[in-house]
Amino acid sequence: QVQLVESGGGLVQAGGSLRLSCSASGRTVSSYALGWFRQPPGKEREFVAAFTWGPGTTNYADSVKGRFTISRDNAKTTIYLQMNSLKPEDTAVYYCHARPVIAGAGDYWGQGTQVTVSS
């Protein structure tokens, strides 16, 4: 199993910045690619950014490219999401996600952290 714990959400004015953290633990955590999703109020959960497993290349949703940066520590068990130039439409619950690289294994979600951007 993999446990994911997010932190760093809060209330910020438009144009401001926040950094989210996600700490991953578990015996098989090295077999997962970590990333971020978000769920705006009244909408479906959507992809934000993620690492690919292994080489550490990154992918971003078009809506956050150039404003958000995903990074991780050397142990690859903590990931971060630096969010700059925040917009009211970035308001959402942000979830850390672990995607398995082994076929048939389930994925894991954190409990979520609220980010609210005021206009």
Strand, helix or coil at 49?
A: strand
Tell whether the model's pLDDT for residue 102 goes beyond 90: no
Mean per-residue pLDDT for 100-106?
85
- pLDDT interval class at 84 (50, 70, 90): very high
pLDDT, mean of residues 99-111: 90
**C-alpha 8: how far from its chain's center?**
11
pLDDT at 52: 87
Confidence band for 72, pLDDT divided at 50, 70 and 90: very high
The per-residue pLDDT for 75 is: 84
Question: HEC profile for 61-117?
Answer: CCCCCCCEEEEECCCCCEEEEEECCCCHHHCEEEEEEEEECCCCCCCEECCCEEEEE
Q: Strand, coil or helix: what is 44?
A: coil
Q: Which of 2, 1, 72 is nearest to 36 (CA)?
A: 72
Mean pLDDT for the chain overall: 94
Mean pLDDT to the nearest integer, 22-32 = 90
